[in-house]
Each structure stands twice: as structure tokens, then as C-alpha cells.
């Protein structure tokens, strides 16, 4: 049987594609992205990732409270560990591009997205809802950056490492593990929780779209 996540992705295909095939990503893939846009993305995403760590920690706490046998925690913990590497990578990459991380001011779309994440940290947000958001946030980056590494892409050498971070097969498998966890919990969820998870998925896709817009345009 098809999982809930796949059903939702099909149902909301256009919105999903809006987040995973944004002009920012297509420009990386074509080799036409302005490096100034990439640098803006880099600085802004560093701020985002720090908020994302707090959110993922909250998902870990929710997983811990689930009654059944719990291998979810292992996957989530791996996610946190990779965010630790990611933060180190951002620091290294920022110094390479001469981006001063300590002086980055979050732009509006980033602030909005971080505020949205903070809302999801609340213990009142059910685990299936939170894990759906977690999957979506990771999956958008994996699908976007994997696209820049496909056969026929013209991604400049300077941007390949960034694309590899999220576009590599191991990250793809990790996203698939998150998807399986989400599906398993959504299958057992009440109609009310399911409805909330679907809304949160759409909200993540919208925030991701706006984040790419902000990175492209600086507004």
C-alpha cells in the first residue's frame, strides 16, 4: 500500500515541485546562479540550521515518549549528528566565500520560517505532525540538490560540495527512513492529527519556496 506521504506529494505535486525545482536550484544546475545569491543563501541557511537543530531535538524528545519499541530515535539522532557536521561545514564554507557568519541578519522569510519551527517545538504538537515536518524539510533539500548533480547538469565546481551535502545517496536513504517513520505514525493517527500533518507539510513547502526566493532576491 502507498504511504500517506506519497499520497500527499502526488496530491500537492505543483507545490512540492515549486519547492524542489525552484529557479534558484535550476540556476545552480545550469551554472547561471549569481555567486552573490549563493553567498546570501549560505549565510541565511546557517542561521536556519541553528533553529532547525532545536526543532530536531524536540522531535527526539517526542520520539522518546512513544510507547512502542523505538528505533525512530536512532534515525533522529543520526539526523542531529549530521546537523553537527553541517554547522561545521557552514563555518568552513563561509570562510572560503568570505561570508562573515557573526554579522548575518536574518531576512524576513528566514525569520518567518524559524518562527514557524519554534511553534512546532511545542509539546502540544503531536509527534506524527512534527515528524512529517521534519521529513519535508530534509526531503526538499535532498530532492533539490540531488537534481543539481544529475547527468546533464552544469553545476559549477565551486557549488558541487554544497550539492553533495544534501544530494548524496546516503542523505537520500536517511530521508527515506524519515519518510517510513512518518508513514508508520500517520497510518495510526486520528483524522484530526492527519489533517494537521497535511497542513504542516504544505506550510513547510511554502516556507522552503520563500526561502529560495529570499536567497535569489535578497528580500
Q: Give me the residue label for grid cell 506521504.
A: 5
Nearer to ligand HMH, 127 or 145 (CB): 145
For the bound state, the minimum distance from the C-beta of residue 219 to ligand HMH, rounded and expressed in Å, comes to: 16
Q: Least CB distance from residue 192 to ligand HMH, whole Å?
A: 27
Question: Is 208 in the active site?
Answer: yes
Is 153 or 174 the residue whose CB approaches ligand HMH more closely? 174
CB-count burial class (<10 Å; 0-12, 13-18, 19+) for 150: exposed
Nearest CB to ligand HMH, comparing residues 3 and 106: 106
Burial level of 80, CB count in 10 A (0-12/13-18/19+)? middle
Contact between 43 and 106 under an 8 Å Cβ cutoff? The reply is: no
Reported as half-sphere exposure (CB side, CA atoms, 13 A), residue 101 has a value of 18
Our CB check for ligand HMH shows the closer of 139 and 197 to be: 139
Which residue is at the shortest CB distance from ligand HMH?
141
Q: Is 171 left (phi over 0), alpha (psi -120 to 50) or beta?
A: alpha
Q: How far is the CB of 138 from ligand HMH (least distance, A)?
A: 5
Q: Which residues sit at the interface with ligand HMH, rule CB under 6 A? A: 45, 48-49, 137-138, 140-141, 208, 211
Of 126, 138, 208, 210, which one is the catalytic site residue? 208
CA 205 to chain centre: 9
| Residues labelled as active-site residues | 208
Amino acid at each position: 500500500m502507498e504511504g500517506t506521504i506519497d499520497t500527499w506529494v502526488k496530491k500537492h505535486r505543483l507545490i512540492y515541485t515549486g519547492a524542489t525545482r525552484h529557479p534558484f536550484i535550476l540556476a545552480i544546475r545550469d551554472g547561471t546562479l549569481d555567486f552573490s545569491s549563493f553567498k546570501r543563501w549560505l549565510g541565511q541557511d546557517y542561521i536556519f540550521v541553528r533553529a532547525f537543530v532545536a526543532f530536531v531535538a524536540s522531535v527526539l524528545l517526542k520520539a522518546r515518549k512513544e510507547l512502542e519499541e523505538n528505533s525512530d530515535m536512532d534515525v533522529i539522532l543520526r539526523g542531529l549528528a549530521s546537523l553537527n557536521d553541517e554547522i561545521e561545514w557552514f563555518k568552513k564554507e563561509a570562510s572560503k566565500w568570505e561570508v562573515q557568519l557573526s554579522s548575518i541578519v536574518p531576512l524576513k522569510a528566514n525569520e518567518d520560517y524559524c518562527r514557524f519551527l519554534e511553534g512546532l517545538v511545542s509539546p502540544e504538537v503531536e509527534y506524527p505532525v512534527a515528524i512529517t515536518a521534519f521529513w519535508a524539510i530534509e526531503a526538499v533539500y535532498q530532492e533539490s540538490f540531488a537534481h543539481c548533480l544529475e547527468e546533464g547538469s552544469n553545476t559549477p565546481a565551486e557549488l558541487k560540495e554544497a550539492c553533495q551535502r544534501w544530494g548524496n545517496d546516503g542523505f537520500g536513504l536517511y530521508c527515506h527512513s524519515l519518510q517510513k517513520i512518518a508513514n508508520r505514525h500517520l497510518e495510526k493517527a486520528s483524522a484530526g492529527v492527519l489533517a494537521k500533518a497535511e497542513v504542516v507539510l504544505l506550510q513547510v513547502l511554502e516556507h522552503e519556496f520563500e526561502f529560495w526566493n529570499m536567497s535569489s532576491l535578497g528580500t
